[in-house]
Amino acid sequence: MSDFPDIGFQPALLTIAPLPRTKVGTHFKRMVPGGMVSYFALEEIPHTTVDRRIAALLVTLSKRTGKKRVSVDSVEEFLREYMGQDARGGVRGNIGSVSKAIRRMATTAVAIEEGVSHDGLRAMAGRGIFTLASGYQILWAGGRFKNAIVQPGLLDSLTYFEWSVEAHKWLVESAVPFDLRVGMSIRGELANDLYHMINRRNYAMHQQGKTEHHIEWKGLYAQYGQNGGILNESQMKSFRRTFKAALDEVPGQGFVVDEKGLHLVKTPLIVDPEAKTTGYL
């Protein structure tokens, strides 16, 4: 267990290739530097803020324990400790929304393609197609009643999510630390994505010995736009407004928007990567 309870770990791949922000059905692709990541789902691709929070928590718990299987002994403790919420059952309760988020993660598959060149020809080459989970089981009782015949939390400990070998490699092994309390407090989907991207870029700058990094608007749209493709002037203006509004929700410093895109400046890390007790190594 980490000696730093407020330190979480970002799902690496989902930080580089963000999930969609609205319902898109069962297929979604995201252009990333040097390639493309496609998501496929049994029913629905993860897209909400809750989905993003659950992904980060599943990575965090796996990173802390060093195990692919993440077990939850108590849904009440899980929601209270990591999401700051009391467990609520029923149609509008958070038990149901979190259960759905775990199931969406467990039933999503990923295809990774990278650009390659050979004798002057450029093409895309597959680097992996895998499911995020090798198995899962959700036995959280949606009803939490004091006088229930069966104790509501009786089967909580049987609930688990187990990362597949490939997903563990792409999401967990290369995860970087972030402030868990701050990350869990961000409400907007795009703001959530930008917070994690800025944090990951900051770690990259430290590792690469750089002091600043710049991302142009076309690159930002490819990575954070909803549909990809080439934008006309009106569409780009709309995206810039959306981007800037989301960035206003992101806490911290070391980033500013200019005419060319997003400018990042190296800032102190929230935790020393060399501290093994964080689970980072």
- H or E element at residue 206: helix 189-208
- By the 8 A CB rule, do 73 and 58 touch? no
pLDDT of 230 reads 61
Q: What is the pLDDT of residues 219-254, one digit of tens each?
A: 898 888 876 556 677 888 889 999 999 999 999 889
Q: What is the pLDDT of residues 109-166, one digit of tens each?
A: 999 988 766 666 665 667 778 999 999 998 876 544 455 444 555 677 788 999 999 9
- By the 8 A CB rule, do 188 and 229 touch? no
Q: Could you tell me the CA-to-CA distances from 262 to 12, 30, 162, 222, 244 in Å, in that order?
A: 20, 19, 36, 14, 10
pLDDT band at 73 (very low <50, low <70, confident <90, very high): confident
Q: What is the pLDDT of residues 88-99, one digit of tens each?
A: 776 677 888 898
SS3 category, 35: strand
Q: What is the pLDDT of residues 29-67, one digit of tens each?
A: 988 888 889 999 998 999 999 999 999 999 999 999 999
How many CA atoms, within 13 angstroms, populate the side-chain half-sphere of residue 146?
A: 0
Average pLDDT over residues 153-181: 89
- By the 8 A CB rule, do 112 and 128 touch? yes
Q: Which residue has the higher pLDDT, 70 or 281?
A: 70
- Measure the CA–CA gap between 95 and 147, rounded to whole angstroms: 19
Q: Which residue has the higher pLDDT, 88 or 255?
A: 255
| Other CB atoms within 10 Å distance of the CB of residue 190 | 20
DSSP 275: -
Q: Could you tell me the CA-to-CA distances from 240 to 158, 231, 235, 257, 270 in Å, in that order?
A: 45, 11, 9, 9, 29
- Measure the CA–CA gap between 77 and 9, rounded to whole angstroms: 19
Average pLDDT, the chain: 85
